[in-house]
Amino acid sequence: MKAWSSLKRTIEKCFVFVINPLSSFPLDFVEGIVAFLPRHSGFYAVIKRFLLNIAGAKIGKCVHIYPGVRIYVPKGLIIGNNVSISSYVVITTAGKVTIGDNVLIGYGAKILSANHRIPGGLGTIYGAGHVCKPVVIEDDVWIGANVIVLPGVTLGKGCVVAAGSVVSRNIAPYSIVGGIPAVYIRRRT
């Protein structure tokens, strides 16, 4: 019985350290290729769209993804038509991310649909898990450079988020917001 238990532990370790990392290889491959390929609207755009779609994302037409964009786990991503995602944008999709039509996302923006859980009391932070909430970016939104969109946020239709802002709450349609945290500046006219 002891020998069986030892063999079982060895097999489990083998799975965790060898097999399990290999299971994410196809997604890592897709993420790497999408980040590496140029932005051009023809051939490379078709390859990026194809790879993201086979990895589980739903990508619309005329989507421009610049080099350096990192999409972690494409499966939870939906992108509409006529979208431009500039270089060095990071999108995490554990809680799902939906991007509407005619959206501009500036350089270095971070769209995060998951965050680490803070344990109750004085519990250990490492290994406490994650909180996943969907991010929705409605049609005709402009997200400036280096904006951070936190989990659970909806950016209303036609809104503009100023560069460097941190968005922690829903933004009303056609609003212009900015700052840390992002606050209402004025309505688009």
Catalytic residues: 116
d(CA 64, CA 41): 6
CB atoms within 10 A of CB 96: 17
d(CA 177, CA 141): 12
Residue reference for tokens 């965050």: 115
Angle at 93 between CA 135 and CA 125, to 5 degrees: 95
Treating both helix axes as pointing N-terminal to C-terminal, what angle do 43-54 and 25-36 enclose, rounded to 10 degrees?
A: 160
Question: Which contacts (CB < 8 Å, 24+ apart) does range 149-158 have?
Answer: 149/109, 149/110, 149/111, 149/112, 150/112, 150/115, 151/95, 151/112, 151/113, 151/114, 151/115, 152/95, 157/100, 158/188
